[in-house]
Amino acid sequence: MLTPAMKREIGEICGVENVIDSNLDMFTYSYDASPLPLMPARNPDLAVYATSTEQLCHLMAYANQHRVPVVPRGSGSGRSGGSMPIAGGIALCFEKMNRILELDEQNCMVTVEPGVRTFDLYSYCAARGLFYPPDPASWKFCTIGGNIAENAGGPKAVKYGVTRDYVMGLTVVLPGGQVLETGGKAIKNVTGYDLTRLFVGSEGTLGIVTRAILRLLPLPRAQKTAQVMFTTMDAACECVRKTIRSGIIPAAAEIMDKVSIQAVARLHQLNIDAAIEACIIYELDGEDEHSLTSQAEGLRKVCQECGAAEFRLARDQQEAEDLWSIRRALGPAVATLAPNRIGEDISVPRSAFPEVVKRLQQISRKYGLTIAIYGHAGDGNLHPSILTDLSLPGAREKVDQAVAEVFQAALDLGGTLSGEHGIGLTKKDYIVQALGEVGVATLRSIKAAIDPNGIMNPGKIFS
Amino acid sequence: MDSKLKSDLKSLVAQCDRCGACLTVCPLYAVTAREKAAARGKNAILRVLLDGDLELDAGAAGALNYCLLCKACVVNCPCKVRTDAAMIMAREYLRQKTGISLVNRAIGGFMKSPSLIGFASLALKLGRLTGIAAVLPEGLIPEEFSRKEYQRMFSGPAGTTPAAKGAKTAAAVPGRPRVAYYQGCAMKLFFPKASADSVRVLSKAGRIDLLDNFCCGRPHQVHGMGGDALELAEKNIKLFETYDIVVTDCASCGSALKEYAALFSENSEWRIPAAVFSKKVRGFSEYLHQIGYEPERQAAITISYHDPCHLVRSQSVKSQPRALLEKAGHFVEAARADMCCGGTGTFHLDFPEESGKILAAKDAAFRQTGADVIVTECPACLIQLAKAGAGGACYKVMHISQVI
């Protein structure tokens, strides 16, 4: 709990215009986009706008000395509770650190502040013929800082990898206020431990990223989007596997089950045949129309072999964009089906995808819970969404049991708890199960070494 | 306490998935960077307020009033959460729970009676003459340019192309739809010249009747007096019963009138008349475009357009004014033309600082276009935009009826 005197001191350090503490404001920094209930709210004591590395050095030195928890927050669009200030303290906001600092075209790298929105960065680069591939569904509003903290993925991971694969170097303010520079623009770099990768996906528990050097690719010149319908989920899963085996690496291969398809149909007033059990949205990209056309032909053949009920190529950019906006809005669309949606984020080896879908369907039947299944079939990351009304008696317990079984299914098949959302609060009870005692002990010792007083985003990932 | 209102409101805000998509489009979030300014914050506040987990104090009430009702979040929302409707209902809920503030009551009463409006209109004219305008809130009396002044300014002999001739007749044709002009309170009060120009333009396309209509009810609705809004709606529906088309040059009135159908959807007596009425309503440019109206002349000036929220999002009227303006001058699209100008309702009076910041962003975009005239179709936008452009030095702000 911060005393009024401490708030004043922090105001002096950070600038009074960068500090807010009204009760109502504090409530609005207590939540994120996770399904955790709004109440009881665990408000921060103070919200602070980060403005510079220097400001944060002073702030962190003060916080460390006075043991004040600090919780970085981008757009609050995280799905695992990572930015919820459960131990009070400071919610650190990045709206004022949203500049693209440098575009280095010679090295194809861009240097940004953490508050830059992912889509804004993508658009900035695309306008210059460059490509920043990671594209989480929330890319229009999430920030690069949050993407780095959660190691965000997205549909394009199947071909282009995830945020981690594009972070070359970081400037990090450590809990004591020191500034750590990791990595750099050299592509080959084995000087010391790979601290860049340590901070990517650390969920704000180790330090505050204030600057990131990101690698870019040349922007693919042409894209094609296809929507393929199947009458069985098995056939759809098989199709993704066969497509990749045939040598066509799609830029994205997104799958959705019947519940998801019908949720979209309901929201967009579409009429979709009830016999359709699964849909895949493929994106192909390439250097030119010619290579793309032959890829598309190959894809059509594979889909036909797998018994696709319908294969439709988007006729133009607008149609492709419409398909993608539907896919990106799938989580919220599914959420409108029931009072509560508990969205998970398990990830399995691609080969285990059909099996994990079967097990999810078994869990759905066992507990009598509707589970919408959609996700990134191309990379084995899927988002089973349990739909329920948590205000009903016994619902919470039933959901908890179902979630535990979902995680167990993923782990049994060689997968893991989270592909791209992070562990945060919602999955930390299962972390030992996933990583083992030794794994978690190693995380703890790293945490203790960097943040001995435990002020950085306390209570996340592990207890 | 209206328990249905509460449960409707609850189910509306429960649709919010808290994803954060609204943060990128909310004009208030853009200028404040405060979570509580964006739809997600407001919906979360409302949610815990309705559950009794948050105390209904001035701060919470303030947050629910702190909304432009511009619908930018609504059209961008993956869950299609109608936050503007939620805020309007929340204000009704606040009024029922806490009683209405004196200021709001005064505004509401003021707008309710046509005779009072007439009186106020007169007072305003007197104000202009005697200079007592200074006692009115700043910005409430905008400088108004009439069509005649516009033509004098921009349509010198070299600057005009011949008008299309003979296409329109003024005589009423038997069997032709009966068309009425709906005059909004703000058009009547603040823009009588523009209002007269609207009637003149409409008359060129045929007979247009002017009625002594009632306020559309929007001001009452947004200030938590939904009951009064319903009363006014019933009166308007009756008044225009014998007409086929009702045209209004006020975006806000137009959207309110078109929403009567939804307003009475569960009222067995008024459901059908309201639905019939709403179908008759057209926005000014929407109507003119529909009947194939051609602007009189193409002036050698650059025109840009500001989309009123209540036209572009509430009524999906976007291409029609542009099509008309392209024939009235050299049309240049402004960046984010559909972003709210911050002048909605009484927001610019209640929160002048934020309103000013939003306006500054619009102003910068307008200056980029190099336009001589910024056109819009809403009196609230006109009042607000008239404050930009260095008070007319960079560009004039006019109602669309004055340039086509």
Q: Which of B19, B45, B51, B76 to mutate to test the interface with A (most CBs of A within 10 A)?
A: B19
Cβ atoms of B220 and B104 closer than 8 Å: no
Nearest to B51 among A39, A336, A341 (CB): A39
Closest CA to A415 of A360, A367, A343: A360
Residues 6+ positions from A177 with CB-CB distance below 8 Å: A56, A57, A58, A59, A60, A61, A62, A64
Residue A119 identity (one-letter amino acid):
F
Find chain B residues with C-beta within 8 A of A33's C-beta. Answer: 17-20
Please answer yes or no on whether A33 and B17 come within 8 Å at the CB atom: yes
Backbone angles phi, psi at A214, to 5 degrees: -115, 140
| Residue A159 and residue A252 in contact, taking contact as beta carbons nearer than 8 Å | yes
Q: Is B238 on the interface with A (CB under 8 A)?
A: no
The pLDDT tens digits of the residues spanning A27-44 come to 999 999 998 999 999 999
pLDDT-derived band at A336 (thresholds 50, 70, 90) equals: confident
Confidence band (pLDDT; 50, 70, 90) for B338?
A: very high
CA dist A181 and A162 (Å) reads 22
Residues of A in contact with B44 (CB under 8 A): 27-28, 31, 38
pLDDT-derived band at B108, boundaries 50, 70, 90: low
The size of chain B, in residues, is 404
In this predicted complex, what is the ipTM?
A: 0.94
Does B60 contact A at CB distance below 8 Å? Answer: yes
Three-class SS state of A38: coil
Reading phi first (left if > 0) and then psi (alpha if -120 to 50, else beta), residue B356 is in: alpha
**Contact flag B17-A24 (C-beta cutoff 8 Å):** no
| Average pLDDT of chain B, as a whole number | 84
Structure tokens at A448: 């203790």
| Chain A residues whose beta carbon lies within 8 Å of the beta carbon of residue B63 | 24
pLDDT at B173 over 70: no
DSSP letters for A301-321: HHHHHTT-SEEEE-SSHHHHH
Packed helices B226-239 and B102-112: angle between N→C axes, nearest 10 degrees: 10
B294: buried, middle or exposed (CB in 10 Å: 19+, 13-18, 0-12)? middle
Residues of chain A found within 8 Å of residue B14, distances taken between Cβ atoms: 339
Structure tokens belonging to residue B335: 């960046």
Q: Give yes or no for residue A214 having a pLDDT over 70.
A: yes
Instruction: Please report the pLDDT score of residue B144 as a whole number.
Output: 62
**Contact list, B35 vs chain A (CB under 8 Å):** 25, 28-29, 76
The residue among B388 and B330 whose pLDDT is bigger is B330
If you average pLDDT over residues B167-175, what whole number do you get?
48
Interchain contact, A267 vs B80, CB within 8 Å? yes
pLDDT the model gives residue B389: 77
Average pLDDT over every residue of A376-398: 93
Residue type, A320: A
- CA distances, A430 to each of A411, A427, A437, A461, B371 (Å): 10, 6, 11, 9, 61
pLDDT tens track for B232-270: 999 999 999 999 999 999 999 999 999 999 999 999 999
Percent of chain B with pLDDT over 90: 60
Which of B19, B20, B45 lies at the smallest CB-CB distance from A24? B45
Enumerate the β-bridge partners of residue A167: A214
Chain A CB contacts of B19 below 8 Å: 33, 77, 138, 141, 331-332
Q: Residue B101: what pLDDT? A: 59
Residue B152, pLDDT above cutoff 60: no
Q: Residue B68's Cα: distance from chain center in Å?
A: 11
B157 has pLDDT over 60: no
Q: Does B341 touch chain A (CB under 8 A)?
A: no
CB-based contacts of B7: which residues, under 8 Å, 6+ apart? Answer: none
Cβ contacts of A24 on chain B, cutoff 8 Å: 36, 45, 59-60, 63
For residue B99, what pLDDT is reported? Answer: 72
In chain B, what residues touch A95 (CB-CB under 8 Å)?
33
pLDDT in tens, A229-246: 999 999 999 999 999 999
- Distance from the Cα of A26 to chain B's closest Cα (Å) equals 9
What's the pLDDT tens digit per position in B124-142? 544 443 433 333 444 444 5
Q: Which residues of A touch B56 (CB under 8 A)?
A: none
Of B18, B23, B24, nearest to A31 by CB-CB distance is B18
CB A121 within 8 A of CB A101: no
B51 in A contact zone (CB under 8 Å):
yes
> CA of A287 to nearest chain B CA: how many angstroms apart?
32
CA distances to A51, A125, A138, A186, B307 from A213, in Å: 18, 14, 21, 11, 39
| Residues listed for chain A | 463
Which pLDDT score, from 0 to 100, does residue B56 have? 83
Identify the contact set of chain A against chain B, taking CB-CB distances under 8 A.
Answer: 20, 22-25, 27-29, 31-33, 38-41, 49, 75-77, 93, 95-96, 117, 138, 140-142, 267, 328-329, 331-333, 335-336, 339, 341
Q: Determine the pLDDT at residue B146.
A: 62
| pLDDT above 80 for B390 | no
The model's confidence at residue A461, banded by pLDDT at 50, 70 and 90, is: very high
Question: pTM to 2 decimals?
Answer: 0.89
| CA distance, residue B131 to nearest chain A CA (Å) | 39
Which stretch of A12-26, A107-121, A253-267, B162-176 has the lowest confidence by average pLDDT? B162-176
Contacts across the A-B interface (CB distance below 8 Å) = 85
Report whether pLDDT(A259) > 60. yes
- Our CA angle for A248, A251, A257, nearest 5°, is 95
Nearest Cα of chain B lies from the Cα of A339 at a distance, in angstroms, of: 7
Residues from chain B that touch A39, judged by Cβ atoms under 8 A, are 48, 51, 53
Residue of chain B nearest A23, judged by CA positions: B59
pLDDT at A3 over 80: yes
Among A20, A27, A389, the strongest candidate for a mutation testing the B interface, having the largest count of B CBs within 10 A, is A27
Q: Please, which pLDDT band fits residue B100 given cuts at 50, 70 and 90?
A: low
Q: How far does B111 lie from chain A, in Å, by closest CA? A: 33
Sheet with strand B373-376: strands edge to edge: B330-331, B302-305, B373-376, B396-399
Residue percentage of chain B with pLDDT more than 70: 81
Distance from the B42 Cα atom to the nearest Cα atom in chain A, whole angstroms: 9
Average pLDDT over residues A260-274: 88
pLDDT beyond 90 at B147: no
3-state secondary structure A234-246: HHHHHHHHHHHHC
Evaluate if residue A283 carries a pLDDT over 50.
yes
Whether chain A has a CB inside 8 Å of the CB on B52: the answer is no
Cβ–Cβ of B33/A96 closer than 8 Å? yes
- Round to whole Å and give the CA distance between B72 and B368: 23
For A389, which residue in chain B has the nearest alpha carbon? B14
Most distant CA atoms of chain B, gap in Å: 69
Q: Give which of A211, A177, A210, A207 is closest to A60, Cα–Cα.
A: A177
Are B35 and A29 in contact (CB < 8 Å)? yes
Task: Give mean pLDDT, residues B159-169.
Answer: 35
Strand-pair partners of A12: none
Better-predicted residue by pLDDT, B127 or A351: A351
Q: Which chain B residues touch A329 with a CB distance below 8 Å?
A: 78
What tens digit of pLDDT does each residue of B15-27 get? 898 999 999 999 9
Return the pLDDT at A375: 93
Give CA separation, A160 vs A242, A250, A417, in Å.
19, 10, 21
